[in-house]
Amino acid sequence: MDLDTFSSLVERPDESARRGAEERWQQLAVPRGGLGRLQELAAWLASAQGEAPTRPLGTSRVLLFAADHGVASLGISALDARGGTAERVRAVLDGTAPVSVLARRYGADVRVVDIAVDADPAEFPEEVVRHRVRRGSGRIDVENALTPDEAARAFRAGMAVADEEADAGTDLVLLGDLGVGSTTVAAVLIGALCGTDAAAVTGRGSGIDDRVWMTKCATVRDALRRARPVLGDQLALLAATGGADFAAITGFLLQAAVRKLPVVLDGVVSAASALVAQRIAFRAPEWWRAAALTGEPAQAKAYDRLTLTPLQDTAVTMGEGVSAVLALPLLQAAGDTLAEPAAVPTAKPLPPRAPAKLPTAAELLGRY
């Protein structure tokens, strides 16, 4: 695959629409900066849509890429390495997962893409598994996660999903992931791309204790040694120490930028993939916004490198697209206030009052 073409294909969001949004705020009866972050978000939406005022968001999609990772077999997660990812996929599909509940509340559809879940594909609907590349992945501390061909197929699958969403009229993607062991893989990719050591990027993930954290840290250290020789080749990096979901999300993010589809990043997995995508097309991050920090040190480093400021501080650590969905009403509010602004009434002067007649000293003394 020739990834260099993305640099020329990815355009910046419409700067004239952004300026139009900012000029519109100045014309409205809104105090300067009175709506705070909403004004910046509305300008971003206008530039992504290419028009000001904005179109209200009406067809948002929660998109979750699901995959298993070989490093989970080392016990570096509090979640079950065997069947844990498939169980989470089923919870999303049957509507009981938190992300499903929140998506219903805020009017967003949910889509799951099984790209490498370690389960029989017959367990899930055809529309969930039709982009599957393989079952699970290799243990990245000792072997490659994918073959070069599998990495390219996963990358293209992500691109295809972006095209499907753009063609379907989706106006905002809330991007998340489902996968046991995925925070370990994300730590490796971010650590390699940011040039940091294992301890600086290894977090608590699913809520592990100190003993498990040390095992996880050693796993990240060993995988970093395998990542560094292939840093100059993004697909080779994703094959060596990534996974099918990371390759697919990277392809999705780049093609979404090509198709001018704005994306909200959820957790450390989408942050790691975004960092890889930035290496391929430096303008692509202008099409993304970060939902929130999840407490993973690697995620904070990735957002700093991407110059993305999280929209909220919700203290949500579970991933699965929850933080991204929680950012949806904020973005809806930003789009609505610019599209249909409510005028803020200005203060009217009070009618003049007749001066009060004060009692004289004699009148006051006469009362006593």
CA angle 335/337/341 to nearest 5° reads: 140
- Measured CA distances, 328 to 14, 40, 93, 368 (Å): 22, 15, 20, 69
Burial class of residue 365 (count of CB atoms within 10 Å of its CB; 0-12, 13-18, 19+): exposed
- CB contact at 8 A, 325 and 174: yes
Contact (Cβ atoms closer than 8 angstroms) between residue 183 and residue 296: yes
DSSP codes, 292-315? B--S-HHHHHHHHHHT---SB---
Asked if residue 13 has a cis previous peptide bond (ω within 30° of 0), the answer is no
> Could you list the active site residues?
320
Whole-number Å distance between alpha carbons of 49 and 52:
8
Q: Which residues contact 213 (CB under 8 A, 6 or more apart)?
A: 202, 204
Rounded Cα gap, residues 292 and 311, in angstroms: 6
The CA distances from residue 22 to 38, 51, 138, 149, 339, in Å, are 12, 12, 49, 46, 12
Tokens of 154: 């996963």
Rounded to an integer, what is the distance from CA 358 to the centroid of its chain?
Answer: 67
